[in-house]
Structures are given as C-alpha cells and as structure tokens.
Amino acid sequence: MTESTGVKAESTNAIVTYDGIFKGMYDEKLQEMFQEGRRKFAGGDWPGGMKIFENMLEIASDKSKDRKTLEEIMNELKRYEACRIEPGTQPAKSIDWSAVADRPLERLHESFFGLPQGVFFLDVGRHGKPGSVRLVGKKLLSDYFLAFKIPELFCSLVKADMILGLYVDQRMSDSNVTIFYNPIEKSEKLHVMQKIMSNGGADAELIFPFPLMRSTTRCEWGSPPEGWEVDDSYDIMLGCGEERIRAYSIQFLRSVGLDKPILYDPACSTGVFLSTLQQAIPGSYTIGQDLSQQMANFAKDRVDEAHCANALDPKIKLGTADAVYIRFLNSEVIKTCEAEELLSALLPTVKKGGYIITFGHTPVLLSSSNFRQLSGFQFKQSVGVAVDKCGIFQYYVIQKS
C-alpha cells in the first residue's frame, strides 16, 4: 500500500490505481459504499453491512476491476458466516481420526490469482511421525478487518473456525490449486486448537504453500524495489496488524530471560515493533534498518539506531544481537526464491545463545524444514499462541549454538 500507487490506508477517496493485494474500490461511489459497509460491520450491524455489499454488486459494471474484487469479498463474507463457530460451542473431548478419514471427501478450490495465500496446512505433531496429523484450512476475514482497523482481508492469526479438515491430496494446474480433505465438525476444530494452545504450540506448524501470483505476468507478487512509502494513517494501520504478535514477542523475551538485550530488526518499518519491545524490556537497545528511506525516517525517533539499507547488508556489528526479528520473509513482500538468501545474510548478526525469530503480518515463505537444516543453530518452535488464547500464528524461533 504505497503513496506512489495512490493507495491510502482506510482513505475515503476512490483509488486511482493499485497493484497487488486488494485495498479498496476504483469507483468513487463504490468506495463510499465500501467504507459505509465496513462501518456497519465494525458497529456490529452484520445484516446492514451485507446489504450494502449486495447493493454494490448490483451496480458494479460486469467488466470493471471492482466487480472481481467485490465478488471475492462477498465470497469471503459468506464463508465467514458459514464457518464461524458460534459462541458457547463446546470442544469435542477427543477425535477419532480413523473415523474422520472415512467421511466423504470435500474439496477446496482456489485460483492462484484469487486468494491462495489464505490456504494453509496445519501440522499437529511433527509431520511424518507416528500420531501426527496434517489438516488443511483457509483463513477467514480478520477481526481487525471487520473492526475497520486494517485494509487487508486477512491477518496472521489462525483460529479454530478456519480449519477445514484432514488433508488427503492436492492437485495443481497452471492457474488453480485443488485440495481434498475429510471434513471435521466445529467441536472437533475447537478440540484441535485447544490441544495446540494448551502446550504452547509445541510440535505444531502452520505452512502456507501457495503465494499470491500476478494474473498479468504469472509471477509472484512482491514489494516495490525501493520499499514502501508511508503516511501517518499507514503507520497506525501497521501497528494495529501486529498487536498480538508484539504481545507474544514481549512474553517470549521475558521467558528466555535476556539481560539488557540488543534487539535488531533489519526491516523495521516505522519502528513501532522495536520501540514496543524496548518499553517492555528494561535496558534493551534497539537497532533498526529498512529498505525505504521514509520508513527509516519514521523509525529514527523510536529506536536507538535507524539505518536505510537492504537487509542483505546488515547495519549491525556481526555476532552482537541477542534477538534478530525477521518480519519480511513473507508473501506479498518478497518472492519465495529470495527468502533463503536473505535469511542466510542475517544469520551472522546474532551472538552465541541468541535468537533469530521469523514471523509476519502475511504468511512466512519458509517452513521448519528450511530452519532445521541450518548448521550452528538449534530449532526451537514454529508457532506462537496469542496471549488472549484466541488462536495461533507462525512464529519460527532458532537459537545459535
């Protein structure tokens, strides 16, 4: 979401152009209705919001870019209604996975040019080991989106109602992916999530295998080469999208007991993440850098050091960081082929016994396999549990031996 593409965070103005992830409507009238519909959702008036979006579909031109966007959003709104677990639903006491495997197959069909980055695998137990199961799911609309806090449809959080069932098989074409699964009941979904959260996410992993592709070039979507530009509204939006991750990061830092740690973020954005950690961890020293000069300018008033540089060129003395936060090896930010190279460039920045932590607002492009094969590091975890116990998110942690 950049000024150069005309997209303003939660702006009431119509969008002139945008590239990549949906942010709003091109047509000014539809944009006004879009904003009003979201205000209805945020205020708890679900029927009123749905009615406005239905009206938008009726007046949108069949060949407009807004039409395709509205159809996707309406599909997500209907999925949210159908999949949402009603308050008061009790988790199942146990699950007979053999019985689940005998249930009739269902399928999830998703275009690579739709919302493929919302499809995930959830491994409960180390994949391939006895007793482990692989589930498939698809993200539902984020509570931050429905509360009118962020423009993106999804956030990092995965909740029980997003689980679909037991993974069976998948097929891919040049434009689509189809996943077959045995469905599980809502009470069983709650049981799965309760079990994962009860042991802090140990031996669980979220994997997002399908990055977003541009329909025009059939190439993976990424950020502009010069980085993103920001304004005050974008700064606020970024902060909202990371609330749960920041809270968990503070909890993690306290649990490992680092004394006056040096905290390094090689893609620090506006510096809110590092400054929040510093306020919670007495004596910590924060070093941030970002590809965007404008981002670095925002960050300089929030961190002890702020640098403008590519993450391939770390602006920190090697082997000195207690914790390195990698928040950009993610879908919609970089391409999958770049992820391992960037990770390798940052490994030398951490000291012995220090941690490298990888997560993001959008899906991480790597999995535990990428981290487990690293020489000189011990793999610690794949998943973080939201401090309010509403769900889980990707949170990869490795420790330098």
**39 and 9 co-located in one domain:** yes
Q: What is the pLDDT of residue 66?
A: 87
**380 and 246 co-located in one domain:** yes
* Domain assignment of residue 213, yes or no: no
* Domain assignment of residue 7, yes or no: yes
- Of 190, 207, 224, the last residue of a domain is 207
**390 and 279 co-located in one domain:** yes
* Domain assignment of residue 219, yes or no: no
**56 and 107 co-located in one domain:** no
The DSSP letter of residue 220 is B
**Does residue 401 have a pLDDT over 70?**
yes
* Domain assignment of residue 107, yes or no: yes
User: For a pLDDT cut of 90, what percent of the chain falls above it?
Assistant: 71
For residue range 209-224, list pLDDT tens digits in order.
998 887 777 888 777 6
- Of 32, 60, 83, the last residue of a domain is 83
DSSP sequence for 344-361: HHHGGGEEEEEEEEE--S
Q: Between these two residues, 151 and 366, which has the higher pLDDT value?
A: 366
**199 and 278 co-located in one domain:** no
Is the CB of residue 386 less than 8 Å from the CB of residue 157? yes
Q: What is the pLDDT of residue 261?
A: 97
CA separation for the pair 276, 296 (Å, rounded): 16
What does the angle CA 131 – CA 105 – CA 161 come to, to the nearest 5 degrees?
Answer: 70
**367 and 243 co-located in one domain:** yes
**Does residue 11 have a pLDDT over 70?**
no
CA separation for the pair 292, 309 (Å, rounded): 8
- The two most distant CA atoms of the chain are separated, in Å, by 61
**285 and 176 co-located in one domain:** no
Stretch among 51-65, 89-103, 245-259 having the lowest mean pLDDT: 51-65
**Does residue 21 have a pLDDT over 70?**
no
**366 and 251 co-located in one domain:** yes
DSSP sequence for 22-90: ----SSHHHHHHHHHHHHHHHTT-HHHHHHHHHHHHHHS-TTSHHHHHHHHHHHHHHHHHHHPPPTTPP
CA separation for the pair 72, 68 (Å, rounded): 6
**Does residue 307 have a pLDDT over 90?**
yes
**244 and 382 co-located in one domain:** yes
For residue range 187-196, list pLDDT tens digits in order.
999 999 999 9
Any residues with CB less than 8 A from the CB of 110 and at least 6 apart, and which?
A: 116, 118, 119, 138, 176, 177, 178, 179, 210
CA separation for the pair 67, 136 (Å, rounded): 29
CA separation for the pair 236, 272 (Å, rounded): 9
**69 and 123 co-located in one domain:** no
Q: Between these two residues, 331 and 393, which has the higher pLDDT value?
A: 393
Is the CB of residue 22 less than 8 Å from the CB of residue 73? yes
User: What domain count does the chain have?
Assistant: 3
Q: What is the pLDDT of residue 235?
A: 55
* Domain assignment of residue 184, yes or no: yes
- Of 54, 83, 112, the last residue of a domain is 83
**307 and 391 co-located in one domain:** yes
**Does residue 90 have a pLDDT over 60?**
yes
pLDDT confidence band for 170 (50 / 70 / 90)? very high
For residue range 320-340, list pLDDT tens digits in order.
999 999 999 998 889 999 999
* Domain assignment of residue 215, yes or no: no
Output the average pLDDT for the chain: 89
**308 and 374 co-located in one domain:** yes
Which residue range(s) make up the domain with 182?
97-207
Q: What is the pLDDT of residue 14?
A: 41
pLDDT confidence band for 228 (50 / 70 / 90)? low
Nearest 5°: phi and psi at 170?
-145, 155
* Domain assignment of residue 49, yes or no: yes
* CA-wise closest residue to 215 among 338, 337, 74, 65: 65
* Domain assignment of residue 382, yes or no: yes
Domain of residue 326, CATH code: 3.40.50.150
